[in-house]
Amino acid sequence: MSAAVQSATNGGALSPRHVNKKQKKDQDGGDGIPVPEITNLDYVNLTTHADAFGVDPVPISWGHPDPLVRGPVICTVRHMSQRNAIGAHSGSYCIYTGLAVAAGKLNPDYVPNLKLTSPVVKIGPHRGWSDPKKIGSIDPFGHLTTDCYAGYLNKGFDIRPTIAVTKAHIDLPECREAIASGRLVPDGTILMPTGQSVVTKAAIEPVWYLPEIARRFGCTETSLRQSIFRMTNGMYPELITRPDIKIFLPPIGGLTIYIWGDPDTIPDEDIELTCRVHDECNGSDVFGSDICTCRPYLTHAIEECIKTAQRGGCGVVIYYRKEGRSLGEVTKYLVYNTRKRQEGGDSAENYFRCTEEVAGVQDTRFQALMPDPLHFLGVTKIHNFISMSDMKYNAIVNTGISIVNRVEIPKELVPKDAQVEITAKVFHGYNAGEAYKNIDEEELKKTVGRDYDYGKTTGGGGGEEEKKEESNVIQD
């Protein structure tokens, strides 16, 4: 029986090739940990195959509560025959590792010193860690490499953490303004008089368990593998040639968790938890672009998280690297140009249609994977969800997490040019709350954004003076 057939019959877990048990025990020294095989990097192997001679991946049983039985995720270049994951560490930054090697700045055989890198606070284990339906897109043991897999490291395996947990002070001008206005009051522990707030933060790289990813998207694992292989122009041939390997480290952005207050209180449903799940928007979050509500909603959530922590609860912001609804910043800016140049100007009525015209789809964030870091933290109840997104709300509650209050962005925080966005989203199903309950079709049709007076011959006209007078057009 081939390794691929074995994989299909044991629920997707990796099974090592059949070897003599006594021989295996002699090889691993009796501790159950195999002897690492170091790959010769002097030649290039285009791909590997499940039934090839010498291929013997370290077994992994995704969802097992015991990390040693579950097994470590091995996705480094030093152990090609024992590797049990497709892809590479560091997400999209793995390409820079290749550049560093090509430039002679990095020894490809280098193994990091992880002795002082362990998490600064304890997270988990939680019940959801052993349920693939709760966690299938990150490795819940990814921050415990030096603890759970010390035996592997001591034996010479190169195993990298996919989660790092540290502490920091963050300094936002909005927090200083909130102190000046009296909305926030420094306490010297959570919020400093300088406006800095103290957080625990965790950086997380994606680690996909492919059978679960396929289940969530309602497709077969084979279809998922083939689609990724095709749409990356054949970047990962092992998606096709290694059906026995069920773990994939995709070349996409990860996420960061920011925690105000004591992380140990998060699983306690009787202790208040405020949370926002935020998708990256470089233009607004970093540079303050006013075409969307991203930064003001994010900073409002941070303010609410600080207040919750000061009341003895906990505040959590999960920041995903999903720029432009995961379509990318180039696509987002192309959409901006289409919105501004279309006939009639940047209108709320055509807000979503413009994205579809450029990208072929409204949104590729696909919130089915989004709740995983909540389960990593042990969340079962969110008292204040700082989001109007129906997609995020549904994705979270469908995994068994209850949400008590949904908090919309205050109207006074919505930038002028972002009226198009907020009006379109509320009309098409975002939670309106009390602040936006009066948005109707008439409001949708008359809400128009700023006119930059771009060249209108490309992509249509619009924006003439008579049209400006008839609508809620934004002018500076």
Q: What is the 3-state secondary structure (H, E, C) of 86-148?
A: EECCCHHHHHHHHHHHHCCCCCCCCCCCCCCCCCCCCCCCCHHHHCCCCCCCCCCCCCCHHHH
Read off the amino acid at residue 310: Q
Q: How far apart are CA 401 and CA 381, in angstroms?
A: 5
Determine the Cα angle at 289 with ends 287 and 293, to 5°: 115
- For position 81, what pLDDT does the model report? 92
Q: Which of 444, 446, 443, 450 is nearest to 475 (CA)?
A: 450
Lookup: tokens for 330: 């180039």
CA 396, chain centre distance (Å): 14
pLDDT digits (tens, 9 = 90+) for 344-362: 899 999 999 999 999 998 8
Q: What are the residues whose beta carbons fall under 8 Å from the beta carbon of 443, sequence distance 6 or more?
A: 348, 423, 427
Single pTM value for the model: 0.89
Q: Which of 116, 111, 206, 106 is nearest to 157 (CA)?
A: 111
Query: Which band of pLDDT confidence, cut at 50, 70 and 90, is reported for residue 282?
Result: very high
Q: Note whether 404 and 418 are within 8 A (CB).
A: no
Q: How far apart are CA 391 and CA 368, in angstroms?
A: 9
Q: Are strands 163-171 and 196-204 parallel, antiparallel or unpaired?
A: antiparallel
Query: Which band of pLDDT confidence, cut at 50, 70 and 90, is reported for residue 8?
Result: very low
Please say if the pLDDT value at position 195 is more than 90: yes
Query: Which band of pLDDT confidence, cut at 50, 70 and 90, is reported for residue 38?
Result: confident
Backbone dihedral angles phi then psi of residue 398, each to the nearest 5 degrees? -70, -15
Q: How far apart are CA 137 and CA 162, in angstroms?
A: 11
For 45-83, the DSSP string reads: -----TTSTT--PPP--TT-SSHHHH-----STT-TTT-
pLDDT digits (tens, 9 = 90+) for 269-281: 999 999 999 999 9
The residue-averaged pLDDT of 162-169 equals 98
Q: What are the residues whose beta carbons fall under 8 Å from the beta carbon of 190, sequence distance 6 or more?
A: 197, 198, 260, 261, 306, 309, 310
Q: How far apart are CA 12 and CA 246, in angstroms?
A: 7
Please say if the pLDDT value at position 322 is more than 60: yes
The residue-averaged pLDDT of 50-57 equals 90
Dihedral angle sign, alpha carbons of residues 96, 98, 99, 104: positive
> What does DSSP assign to residue 340?
H
Please say if the pLDDT value at position 206 is more than 90: yes
The residues that are catalytic are: 363, 365
pLDDT digits (tens, 9 = 90+) for 215-270: 999 999 999 999 999 999 999 999 999 999 999 999 999 999 999 999 999 999 99
CA 322, chain centre distance (Å): 7
